[in-house]
Structure 1
Amino acid sequence: MPEELPRRRAMEGDCLSCMKYLMFVLNFFIFLGGACLLGLGIWVMVDPTGFREIVAAKPLLFTGVYVLLAMGGLLFLHGFLGCCGAVRENKCLLLLFFLLTLLIFLAELSAAILAFIFRENLTREFFTKELTKRYQGDNDTDVFSATWNSVMITFGCCGVNGPEDFKLASVFRLLTLDSGEVPEACCRREPQSREGVLLSREECLQGKGLFLNKQGCYTVILNTFENYVYLAGALGIGVVAIELFAMIFAMCLFRGIQ
């Protein structure tokens, strides 16, 4: 019996050491990822070669840079707290790491619940209604219109169901008058990207099929991402599992530190 107590303590010490190094390695990669995202965001904001002006002129890109900075900063702080708390065996840092991980976990859980509740808003009818009511053509200062233009150019599609959606788009018809049946974002390009050359702008705007992307974006995007649904689900489950293990390791180390 007297020998069992030291042996048990030694086993507990080995388990804590294993948790400590696993937690350090995991959070070191999180720290590096956050540092890369943060560095990329800062570079875009201060780049003297003119990229900053391009980003500032596009509301979506401008918002994306701030999202990049926020994500990078959060991951950087998260990884730093985890690494330092594990190596230094600091209870305060471990507690902060646990609370931050818990907040991220709760935010992800809330987002999943909201996505499930509002899933009916992701229907074809909903997007069609919003497009016909709010789309303003080539107005890149309007975030909604700029988003749709980027989607249509990137995926080589037009409208939600097809070019016919723009016949009902009241704001678009009012702004363009008789200048075109469809927006320029619906025109075919070579290659099919924002930098691609329009095959024929005039004939496209007149609605001629050879120079116009006829397929609706809803079907194109659905087909594109259908193959990645299970991958995204698996990654989501993996991230949640890692976060749960990280919180368990943090609490075990917290309680094991004398």
Structure 2
Amino acid sequence: MARRRRGAAGRDEEFTFVSPVVKYLLFIFNFIFWVRITLPNVFLFISTSPFFLSASEAALACLSVDPAIMLLVVGILMFIITFCGCVGSLRENICLLQTFCVCLTLIFILQLAAGILGFVFSDKARNKVTEVIDKAIVHYRDDIDLQNLIDFGQREFGCCGGVTYTDWSKNVYFSCKNDNPSRERCSVPFSCCILSKDKAVINTMCGQGMQELEFAEAGGHIHTNGCIDKLVNWIHSNLFLLGGIALGLAIPQLVGILLSQILINQIKDQIELQNYNQNHRSDPWS
């Protein structure tokens, strides 16, 4: 009676090193990440951004501060990475899996390096944040998404401008220059205003002419402290929360790296087994 053909180390040819659990866990991991991160980012960009309707020079000028463009860049990047992970796991393609693993590793290292450098070079990081906020103030009226983001930040932190409320003079509409024909000359956005819950009617023009007032007088109507100091103080008082968020972002990345590396090793072992079996098919009794 014929025996079943055996492969390397006494295993039959139906044996596979590739674990279906690891394979489909990696696929589900990438698919969920793709649905939760990539699709919403691209959708938000297409549905809200004026990028396609504006001139290319204006778009490039707003590239570093336009939330919609940033969402699109992140969406495209994550689409490429998750595509490599999904297809690589289903097709058992080592090249795609290695690309996925390397990209996740690089992202993790960059995040870690950014955190360390931001802590060590806190002064330079503060200066960079100041530059970004200044650019955002300049382009405040150019992009509705950016405008909503700044207004949300000023309301939540109870602040106005970058270093101080007079930073709004950097915007062409709020500039205090004598030749500025805007009706908002020397004003600040409504989101800078101190709102009283006792008043039934809210004065939406409360920021009118606030830059012309002295600091103490303006402080009775608007938040005069800049958002940079408020942001720094918030970070210092919420270090444990930020650390938890960073850990929550790092764990899925490490899981993805681990699963992809395990699957790569299993595929390599399977390829070696197949090559061994092909080399010994001439002897069916081995």
For the aligned pair, the TM-score class normalised by the smaller chain equals 0.5 to 0.7
Partner of 2:208: 201
Name structure 1 gaps, 5 residues minimum.
Answer: none
Conserved 8 A contact 2:187-2:207? no
Structure whose residues are more often helix by fraction: 1
Deviation at 1:212, TM superposition (A): 2.5
Q: Tell me the amino acid that sits aligned with residue 120 of structure 1.
A: D
Residues 66 and 210 (structure 1), Cα distance of their counterparts in 2 relative to 1, 3 Å cut: same
Which string of whole-angstrom CA distances, capped at 9 and with x for unpartnered residues, describes residues 189-232 of structure 1?
Answer: 669xxxx8122614674343432224443554345555643232
Which string of whole-angstrom CA distances, capped at 9 and with x for unpartnered residues, describes residues 131-152 of structure 1?
Answer: 9xx979x743899xx9997554
Conserved 8 A contact 2:187-2:209? no
Residues 95 and 200 (structure 1), Cα distance of their counterparts in 2 relative to 1, 3 Å cut: closer
Partner of 2:4: none
Correspondences of 1:131-170 after superposition (within 5 Å): 139-140=138-139, 152=154, 155-158=157-160, 166=166
Share of identical aligned residues, percent?
Answer: 24
Conserved 8 A contact 1:31-1:77? no
Which has the higher Rg, Structure 1 or Structure 2?
A: 2
1:114 equivalenced with 2:124 (yes/no): no
Per the normalisation by structure 2, the TM-score is 0.59
Q: Distance in 1 between matches of 2:164 and 2:158?
A: 11
RMSD: 4.7
Residues 211 and 77 (structure 1), Cα distance of their counterparts in 2 relative to 1, 3 Å cut: same
Which string of whole-angstrom CA distances, capped at 9 and with x for unpartnered residues, describes residues 75-101 of structure 1?
Answer: 112222112211222222212211221
Partner of 1:97: 100
Question: Equivalent of 2:265, from 240, 255, 258?
Answer: 255
Conserved 8 A contact 2:154-2:192? no
Name structure 2 gaps, 5 residues minimum.
Answer: 1-8, 197-202, 271-286
Q: Distance in 2 between matches of 1:141 and 1:160?
A: 13
Structure with larger RCO (C-alpha < 8 A, sep 6+) = 2
1:188 equivalenced with 2:193 (yes/no): yes
Per the normalisation by structure 1, the TM-score is 0.64
User: After TM superposition, which residue ranges in structure 1, 4 or more long, deviate above 4 angstroms?
Assistant: 10-14, 45-48, 146-154, 159-163, 169-172, 177-183, 222-228
